[in-house]
Amino acid sequence: MGASFSACKSDPVGALPLQSNPSLGDLPESCAALILGYLDPPEICKLAKLNRAFRGASWADFIWESKLPSNYQTIVRKVFGDGLENLGKRDVYTRLCQPNSFDDGTKTVWLDKNTGSVCLSISSKGLAITGIDDRRYWNHIQTEESRFCSVAYLQQIWWFEVDGEVEFPLPAGTYSLFFRLQLGRSSQKRFGRRICNTEHVHGWDIKPVRFQLWTSEGHYASSQCFLTEPGKWNYYHVGDFVVENPNASTKIKLSMTQIDCTHTKGGLCLDSVLVYPSEFRERLKHF
């Protein structure tokens, strides 16, 4: 048997050279690019590590242009001006997936890296808050628990009112708007444990808070609820709206009120407002 095996491995004079079996490394780069076009961005990046063909193909502009929002050029001009003109589409996608600030740093926009969907956030400093300049009522406190590194903390007030607006070229689709709130004041971690002081939380279980939104395309939504779960950040759903024209900026106005002056309310952290694709809103439960 050993002799037979040796014979199979031998290369007698005059015989044709042995042919190696084809592998993925032999795949033309153009074919690899066509395959990558059917994958999601994280899958493309994983296959790019497979071999040289996929690595080269993963930079093809036509692949990443199909993953970018249909109006990505308008978004780029809004956020970066002309700063990304010389970048390839993969680099543009990468830059847009990072948190990108605009309007003096009070607003942030980014792409969901898995789907290319646009997400938008407004910081507490980008909102009009009644009494925000009076330290008897409100303070801005630093915290690692906010993407803006700062939240507005309400100590106590009779008339609670928060308004805001944002104008942005959102791609066509359905979006949900949320307020990110917490009953209680967060402090620095101690011995690795998160500490939240809920001592001054009061008034939110007497009358519900009312949320509203309006858009320039004529959509209106409202909701109301009691604020619950002290010590935990929650996303309170205001409502949904539809964007039909991605070539024009959509203007969104929003509000949060509790203006029953028969009682005070306090002990609330206001972090931000979030605009998020409605089809993925369940993901917010894991944030």
Task: Report yes or no: 145 and 184 within 8 Å, Cβ to Cβ.
Answer: no
User: 122 near 106, Cβ under 8 Å?
Assistant: yes
30 vs 102: CA distance, rounded Å = 38
Higher pLDDT, 115 or 28: 115
Amino acid 77 reads R
pLDDT digits (tens, 9 = 90+) for 231-259: 999 999 999 999 999 989 999 999 999 99
For residue 120, give the nearest of 173, 159, 81, 158 by alpha carbon.
173
Domains of the chain: 29-65 (no CATH), 118-285 (2.60.120.260)
Q: Is the pLDDT of residue 49 over 80?
A: yes
pLDDT in tens, 216-228: 999 999 999 999 9
What CA–CA distance (Å, rounded) separates 207 from 221? 20
Reported confidence tier of residue 3, pLDDT bands at 50, 70, 90: very low
